[in-house]
């Protein structure tokens, strides 16, 4: 059975692999409808609105990798919650438990992946 910790680690692995496979290092918008990405200065422009371009540039691979690293630290800090020796078990953040009985912080980290087939309804905060 997949645990919430295992699930969160696997989804972060997926995010990291996807970001590393994308053009690196930074994406920027031209302020109109294009995105410049990577060292080769390629441009994506087809069917992008300015809002789309801004959103894509804001979530470039470098940012995704930074977010994955931060989320991994949170997962590791909470990996033993509920065992009696975990971060939440000694009131690390006020005994905040999710409705399904797990760590609320891990439940929050997993929620963006609720459409994944391995996500379990009882993890929903």
The answer to whether the Cα torsion of 40, 45, 50, 54 is positive or negative is: negative
Q: What pLDDT is attached to residue 6?
A: 93
Q: What pLDDT is attached to residue 27?
A: 75
pLDDT in tens, the chain (125 residues): 578 899 999 999 999 999 988 876 677 776 655 666 555 555 555 556 777 777 877 888 889 999 999 999 999 988 888 777 777 776 555 555 555 556 888 999 999 999 999 999 988 88
The answer to whether the Cα torsion of 16, 58, 35, 112 is positive or negative is: positive
pTM of the model: 0.78
Q: What pLDDT is attached to residue 70?
A: 97
Distances (CA, A) of 21 to 14, 16, 17: 11, 9, 6
Residue identified by tokens 């699930």 is 7
Specify which residues 97 forms β-bridges with.
Answer: 103
Q: What pLDDT is attached to residue 48?
A: 66
Q: What 8-state DSSP symbol labels residue 64?
A: H
Tell me the three state secondary structure of residue 97: strand
End-to-end, the C-alpha distance of the chain in Å comes to 20
Rounded to whole angstroms, how far apart are CA atoms 78 and 105? Answer: 8
Q: Where are the alpha helices (DSSP H) in the chain?
A: 4-21, 50-58, 61-78, 104-110
């Amino acid at each position: 059975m997949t645990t919430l910790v295992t699930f969160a680690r696997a989804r972060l692995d997926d995010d990291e692999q996807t970001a590393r496979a994308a053009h690196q290092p930074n994406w920027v918008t031209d302020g109109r409808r294009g995105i410049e990405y990577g060292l080769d200065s390629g441009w994506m422009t087809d069917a992008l609105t300015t809002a789309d371009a801004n959103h894509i540039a804001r979530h470039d691979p470098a940012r995704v990798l930074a977010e994955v690293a931060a989320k991994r630290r949170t997962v590791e800090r909470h990996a033993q919650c509920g065992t009696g020796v975990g971060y939440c078990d000694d009131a690390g953040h006020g005994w905040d438990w999710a409705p399904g009985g797990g760590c609320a912080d891990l439940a929050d980290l997993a929620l963006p992946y609720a459409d994944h087939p391995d996500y379990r309804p009882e993890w929903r905060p």
